[in-house]
Amino acid sequence: MSSVIQPQLLRRMTVRRVLELLQSNGPSTRADLTRLSGISAPTVSKAIAALLDSGLVEEGEASAASLGRPGTVLRLARDAAQVIGVVVDARECRVSASGLDGQIRGDLVESFPTPRTYQTLIDQISRAAARLMERPSVKTLSLGMSIPGLINRREERAVFSPNLHVTDGHSPAVDLSRRLGIDCVMYQETHALCLGERMFGGPEPLDDFVVLEISTGLGLGVITEGRLMEGHSGLAGELGHVTVVPDGRLCGCGNHGCLETVATDSAFARAISEQVGRPVEIDEAVSLIRDNVLRADDELRRVCEYLAIAMAAAINVFNPATLFVHGRLFDAQDGVFEMACELTRRRALAPSLADCRIQRARFNKSQGAIAAAMQLVLDSLGPMVGD
Ligand SMILES: [Zn+2]
């Protein structure tokens, strides 16, 4: 490497490292950051000055927890800078804003039914995002999108979504960037959930984990050795379209009997719809059971039987330290998640299972979209230490 570019590259790496430490540790003093980064104090100081200058980081008062070492702490900008997260779901879109700490404020969220045409979709998202960007003295750094279905990340194009066709063949992040004049990025929704778990999951670094998302479709996101596994062009993780019921129900992808036709919130809502004789969405299905209006033990068990196949496959194939499962049907009654875990135990390879902690996902799709926006900010700062 040329000695001319090295100092600049090192500076960018330090800037990024300091940001990551603030993200994983929360507000920290200069001394904390120097110690945690293992980088020399003058180099860290320069990076902090650059971050304060750019508005990505702000100074605050030390909290009571750090008594004994009074003084200012540094934290990710909450007030002066924001990122925008956009979730496109089969039925609803949500546009929200958060400071760089990832906390979404309730008054900075807008939602609307997912429009039927692409043009209207982009119009409505643009309008909602523009309203959030109008907040006085707040700089908007980037926008992240969470989109269902297959996304070709190399071409920045939504290829095909079995359950939502409005984005098929389009490049919403490119179009929004043109409209709004800020950097925009889109991720497949399960991949965005992975970024959320990794970015906002706390100080313990998560380097090998899997997120299984079972809302409308069934998607898999894999972080291995700290990196998102996207495949050749971003299409990896479509476990939902593996056949488990030959000649089963027609799937949105055109195949029959795919896992996602039997192991998702939608599959469960469909079973409840048949029971009550009218269309019921997952939220209502969950309420009906929670309020003891109906019982659905057999339906829950059947969905969990298939879900266990998906969970065991994720454990056997990827050997994750943690498997996060993101689904609403677990709220229907106590013990449903535990039942899915127990059924998984019967299907997964014992050594792989013994190595894996299974838990419900901690973050929602909006936080995933915010994490995607944050990732874009981090990527613009250059490579990570160790890259
Ligand atoms: Zn399918």
**Ligand 1: distance of its center to the CA of 344 in Å?**
22
Burial of residue 83 (CB within 10 Å: 0-12, 13-18, 19+) is buried
Ligand 1 centre and the CA of 267: distance in Å? 13
Give me the DSSP letters along 41-92.
HHHHHHHHHHHHHHTSEEEEEPPGGGTTS-SEEEEE-SSSEEEEEEEE-SSE
* Cα 240 to middle of ligand 1, angstroms: 6
CA of 256 from ligand 1 middle (Å) equals 7
Q: Among residues of the chain, what percentage have pLDDT more than 90?
A: 66
- In the chain, what percentage of residues exceed pLDDT 70? 93
For residue range 290-322, list pLDDT tens digits in order: 999 999 999 999 999 999 999 999 999 999 999
Q: What is the mean pLDDT of residues 117-136?
A: 96
Q: Residues within 5 Å of ion ligand 1 by Cβ?
A: 241, 251, 253, 255, 258
Say yes or no to pLDDT of 16 above 60: yes
Residue 219 alpha carbon to ligand 1 centre in Å: 11
What's the 307 CA to ligand 1 centre distance in angstroms? Answer: 15
pLDDT at 288: 96
pLDDT digits (tens, 9 = 90+) for 25-44: 888 999 999 999 888 999 89
Distance 260 CA to ligand 1 centre (A): 7
Distance (angstroms) between ligand 1 centre and the Cα of 134 equals 41
- For residue 130, the CA-to-ligand 1 centroid distance in Å is 36
Distance 255 CA to ligand 1 centre (A): 5
CA of 264 to the centre of ligand 1 (A): 12
321 contact partners, CB below 8 Å, separation of at least 6: 206, 207, 208, 209, 355, 356, 357
Q: What is the distance in A from the centroid of ligand 1 to the CA of 244?
A: 10
* Cα 288 to averaged position of ligand 1 atoms, centre (Å): 28
17 C-alpha to ligand 1 centroid (Å): 41
Residue with tokens 């909450």: 78
Please report the pLDDT score of residue 230 as a whole number: 87
Specify the range with the lowest mean pLDDT, choosing from 46-60, 85-99, 177-191, 229-243: 46-60
Burial call 203-219: b when 16+ CB within 10 Å, e when fewer: eeebebbbbbbbbbbbb
65 pLDDT above the threshold of 50 = yes
| d(CA 155, ligand 1 centre) in Å | 23
**Listed range (66-75, 323-332, 349-358) with the worst mean pLDDT:** 66-75
The model carries a pTM of 0.87
Q: Would you say residue 385 has pLDDT above 50?
A: no
Alpha-helix residue ranges (DSSP H) falling in the chain: 6-25, 30-37, 41-54, 118-133, 172-180, 189-200, 265-276, 282-290, 297-318, 336-347, 350-354, 365-379
Where residue 153 falls among pLDDT bands split at 50, 70, 90?
Answer: confident
Place of tokens 């760089």: 100
- Rounded Cα–Cα distance for residues 348 and 337 (Å): 16
Residue 386 above 60 pLDDT?
no
How many Å lie between the centroid of ligand 1 and the Cα of residue 200?
A: 31
**Euclidean distance between CA atoms 87 and 90, whole angstroms:** 10
- Please tell me the distance between residue 171's alpha carbon and the centre of ligand 1 in angstroms: 23
Query: Stretch 231-242: mean pLDDT, rounded?
Result: 90
CA–centroid distance, residue 160 to ligand 1 (Å): 11
Q: If you average pLDDT over residues 83-90, what whole number do you get?
A: 95
Q: Is the pLDDT of residue 377 over 50?
A: yes
> Given this model, what pLDDT does residue 387 score?
37
Cα gap 39→384, rounded to integer Å: 13
Mean pLDDT, to the nearest integer, of 13-29? 86
Is pLDDT of 263 > 90? yes
Task: Using the mean position of ligand 1's atoms as its centre, give its distance from the Cα of residue 261 in Å.
Answer: 7
Residue 13 CA, ligand 1 centroid: distance in Å: 42
Percentage helix, strand, coil for the chain under 3-state DSSP, each rounded to 5: 45, 20, 35
CA-to-CA distance for 222 and 387, rounded, in angstroms? Answer: 19
Dist. CA 163 → ligand 1 center (Å): 10
What per-residue confidence (pLDDT) applies to 342?
A: 97
